[in-house]
Structure 1
Amino acid sequence: MSTNQKQLRWTNIGIIAFSMVWGLGNVVNNYAQQGLSVVTSWIIILLLYFIPYALIVGQLGSTFKDSNGGVSSWVEKTTTKKLAFYAAWTYWVVHIPYLAQKPQGILIALGWAVKGDGTLVSSLPITTVALLSLAIFLAFLYLSTKGLSTLKVIGGLAGSAMFVMSILFILLAIGAPAINSGVSLATPHMDKLSSYIPKFDFSYFTTISMLVFAVGGAEKISPYVNQTKNPAKEFPKGMILLAAMVGISAILGSIAMGMLFASNNIPEDLMANGAYTAFQKLGNYYGIGNALMIIYALTNTVGQISALAFSIDAPLQILLADADPEFIPQWLRQRTAKGTLKNGYLLTGILVSILILLPVLGIGNMNELVKWMTNLNSVVMPLRYLWVFFAFMMLNKAHKEYQSEYKFLKNRKAGFAVGLWCFLFTAFACLLGIFPKMELDLSSKAWWFQMISNILTPIALILLGAILPIIAKRNKRSKPTEDTKPVSSI
């Protein structure tokens, strides 16, 4: 890369990374799990997990700067093509629960924008919600096959607006008592240190997966490592800036939530409606009614729609664009004359539809549905981060073969140890995240439904990936010349 292309400074890296990683939902969801004590949890997770995670991504991205496949390319370079397939499969398949949750988010956002509260959706039977969500998903699944470039651009703008709203939320909430003398703090004793100390019991450790889920995704930063003016010096500064921005946003955002919602009496619907209620309260404090809430609801609606459309296509393209015939069956790689991965879309549609309809069997209301889907995502989504740390461990074992402009740790044993720590911590969080975030009641149908589905969903999705190479081998034996044909001509 020529010098004049390396224009990004450490401040640019930090801001770009922050917009990729952070959002208001991270604050709301984790406050709903832990209350005001989440402030201490944020400090711990940032120091012990997020900072090394971001710097690990920096070294991997710098080492394999010419690789376009992201995590799967890193795994292939450091190990084997087979493991690279599983990394690519994991990256795709963890988006299935994410896609299943998006239609619900769209319904909730529209309900707040139209009616001004959360009752439009919460009053509906869970079967109706599931069917409406399925209809929304199938509509966008079909539209994604036709191309949604305009919507994705609009969604990008909406995403930027939501990012601004997330920062505005903190500023408005923290400043509210100074502007409006009638504002009282919802959480008592916010001036006492004891209010911020978690109770480190089993229930607490089951919520760690949500924190990991919130700060994950730093691997998206990797393409920018070698666009930095001086990667070895400026990229670490950018990551430190990122950590500082995330830390400030998480801590101040959580304090702001404590000012608006009592930490010792967290509303049951906080995950579903917390962000909207928060903006509604702030609008009332500042004398502008529902204006802030409506703006947030509308931008969130468009943002959710765009995220749904983009997340149907992008992960599928990563998995199948350069799919190895040895591991991906020919039928799954089939394209239409326009290049659409028709069977890939079909498989996505089947898996997501099952997850959308599954709550009918064991979820009683909308609030529990949102909690379950959010927690399920916090169990499944971090599985892709495991491959980042695995690749870093393998890189440290093969350190003499690869050179990098930026190195997180020069000592390969220390690098391997940090990669192993992050790997084990992620696995630990995912494992404990399986337990439902509700009061233990072995006679509760909802408790058992969430427990069983949290176990079976990741197992089923991973096993499906293990079956594909077997099918691919059988296809090659029965049709040895099949893969010599251009796939795009099918």
Structure 2
Amino acid sequence: MKQGGSDKKILWYSLAFMAFSTVWAFGNVINGFSEYGGLKAIISWVIIFAIYFVPYALMVGELGSAFKDAGGGVSSWVHETIGPKVAYFAGWTYWVVHMPYISQKPNASFIAASWAIFRDNRISSVNTKVLQIACLVLFLFAIWVASRGINVLKKLSTLAGSTMFIMSLLFIVMMMAAPAITNANVLDIDWSMKTFMPSFDMKFLLNLSILVFAVGGCEKISPYVNKTKDPARDFPKGMIALAIMVAVCAMLGTIAMGMMFDSNNIPEDLMTNGAYYAFQTLGQYYGLGNFFVVVYAICNLIGQFTVLIISIDAPLRMLLDCADENYIPKAMFKQNEYGTYTNGHKLVMVIVSILIIVPAFGIDSVDTLVRWLVKVNSVCMPLRYLWVFVAYIALKKAGDKFPAQYHFVKNKTVGMIFGGWCFLFTAFACIMGIYSEDRFQLILNIVTPFVLIGLGFIMPMIARRTNKK
């Protein structure tokens, strides 16, 4: 059989589009606009792309090229460069940081359902205890569905995600064109530098984790590095194209939002309802009423629920399928007739149920709850990126031991400096993201990542005691 024919190879621009759909989402524009002073977010995005995202993406390319046959992603890279014990912690981190992410999904599902049915922001006035109890019920139902091993949801998730992705791009195009096509009464933007220049103050640093969280995750496309025609040329071209596409969407999306929302008077509920306000207003501009907002809400509802189910199961499989039984109790590997890890699902159920219920006792506003969920995710999820940079530093330190078709930088020392920079920047952003003026939220921001990562140290102890039996 002919290997690596050109017709089987991925073109660099196809790789860029694949990566774009996994990295970027419309919610990133909303979060940046909300937390970085509206149009001032544009320069913030440009800075994060230049100093962090581009080197990060190119490092992932070299790792993917060096370990083209490694199926476990980041944990496989760490296993090859450092060893099984550290690889276990990388795998554990990748899995456990999904717990706050999973706890956010029922909340987002109810917000989407409310907009699809009522087409207004009444969800913001719901009692948080009532909402979180409903979220717990929905989550427990999702656990049951995930335990049945229903694969059709993956296709449904892809369809919903693609539709939302298309609608997000459509929003930017239609919003920019609205004044010319519909004579819409949009806000006038002052194009002077003061409108776009952010204040490089403490708030800027405290919200860095939101930007880092937004641009992370490109390690998912690492298996495709060596499937390009010429990895040494095509992968960096694809990643540079990705960076340009993401930067353009971030900037144009922010400008489109600036035409709709006053940067000096940003709604308090923008993180909760901003995307729905945007599509509702767009429908009014084009004389289509609530058509856009209902379609977006339905797609978002389907997408959030299916991602909830997939996130319960997929990261757990990544942890256990490549796990070393010296570090994880054998009981965790128990499977039912559908091939799902039953005890693993029970552990997910316990951790996420706590994460859903506890915030309701100290946060009495849905809008505040949504903002906290974004914040705690921006602190926890980037912790998995740290292992990418650990693996890259170890790869460069190993010299020519792991040959790669593509190199971000060939110099060993320069490569380690880049890896160290991205590691420190990610860690700094996560640490700064912990701070909150609200004492209850501050405690949750500290306890959540430390407890989740700390559980990873307990598992090997349990494994040593129980596996011998």
TM-score (norm 2): 0.98
Report the alpha carbon displacement of residue 394 of structure 1 after superposing the two structures with TM: 0.4
2:21–2:165 Cα contact (<8 Å) kept: yes
Report the alpha carbon displacement of residue 310 of structure 1 after superposing the two structures with TM: 0.7
Report the alpha carbon displacement of residue 94 of structure 1 after superposing the two structures with TM: 0.5
Distance 1:200 1:388 in 2: 28
Distance 2:162 2:87 in 1: 33
Equivalent positions of 1:255-274 (< 5 A) are 255-274=255-274
Equivalent positions of 1:171-182 (< 5 A) are 171-182=173-184
Equivalent positions of 1:126-165 (< 5 A) are 126-165=128-167
Report the alpha carbon displacement of residue 2 of structure 1 after superposing the two structures with TM: 2.0
Write the letter of the residue equivalent to 2:250: A
- Cross-structure match for 1:4: 5
Report the alpha carbon displacement of residue 323 of structure 1 after superposing the two structures with TM: 2.0
- Cross-structure match for 2:459: 468
The runs of 4+ residues in structure 1 deviating greater than 6 Å are none
- Cross-structure match for 1:32: 34
1:323–1:333 Cα contact (<8 Å) kept: no
Equivalent positions of 1:318-357 (< 5 A) are 318-357=318-357
1:62–1:405 Cα contact (<8 Å) kept: yes
2:209–2:432 Cα contact (<8 Å) kept: yes
Report the alpha carbon displacement of residue 151 of structure 1 after superposing the two structures with TM: 2.0
Equivalent positions of 1:373-412 (< 5 A) are 373-412=373-412
Cα deviation 1:102-157 (Å, max 9, x = unaligned): 001000000000001120x2232111001000000000101111022112211210
Write the letter of the residue equivalent to 2:34: A
* 2:56 maps to 1:56: no
TM-score (norm 1): 0.94
In structure 2, list runs of 5 or more residues that go unmatched: none
Equivalent positions of 1:174-323 (< 5 A) are 174-185=176-187, 189-323=189-323
Distance 2:451 2:91 in 1: 16
State the secondary structure of the residue aligned to 2:5. helix
Distance 1:338 1:40 in 2: 49
Distance 1:422 1:454 in 2: 22
2:149–2:339 Cα contact (<8 Å) kept: no
Cα deviation 1:377-422 (Å, max 9, x = unaligned): 0000000000000100000000221100000001010000000000
2:29–2:253 Cα contact (<8 Å) kept: yes
- Cross-structure match for 1:169: 171
Cα deviation 1:216-243 (Å, max 9, x = unaligned): 0010110111110110111110001000
Name the % identity: 50
- Cross-structure match for 2:47: 44
Write the letter of the residue equivalent to 1:324: D
Distance 1:128 1:134 in 2: 10
Write the letter of the residue equivalent to 2:67: F
Report the alpha carbon displacement of residue 365 of structure 1 after superposing the two structures with TM: 1.0
2:72–2:322 Cα contact (<8 Å) kept: no
1:232–1:407 Cα contact (<8 Å) kept: yes
Equivalent positions of 1:79-158 (< 5 A) are 79-119=82-122, 121-158=123-160
Distance 1:358 1:149 in 2: 32
Distance 1:37 1:124 in 2: 31
In structure 1, list runs of 5 or more residues that go unmatched: 441-446, 480-490
- Cross-structure match for 1:455: 446
Distance 1:199 1:189 in 2: 19
Report the alpha carbon displacement of residue 18 of structure 1 after superposing the two structures with TM: 0.4
Distance 1:431 1:154 in 2: 36
State the secondary structure of the residue aligned to 1:381. helix
Aligned residues: 466
Equivalent positions of 1:61-76 (< 5 A) are 61-76=64-79
Distance 1:348 1:459 in 2: 17
State the secondary structure of the residue aligned to 1:3. coil
Is 318-327 or 248-257 further displaced after alignment?
Answer: 318-327
2:57–2:219 Cα contact (<8 Å) kept: yes
2:111–2:272 Cα contact (<8 Å) kept: yes
- Cross-structure match for 1:486: none
2:232–2:405 Cα contact (<8 Å) kept: yes
Distance 2:270 2:345 in 1: 33
Distance 2:287 2:399 in 1: 60
2:189–2:258 Cα contact (<8 Å) kept: no
Distance 2:51 2:466 in 1: 46
Distance 1:288 1:337 in 2: 49
Distance 2:314 2:126 in 1: 32
Distance 2:4 2:145 in 1: 42
Cα deviation 1:159-190 (Å, max 9, x = unaligned): 000000110011011111112324231xx653
- The CA RMSD measured in Å over matched residues stands at 1.1
Is 248-257 or 4-13 further displaced after alignment?
Answer: 4-13
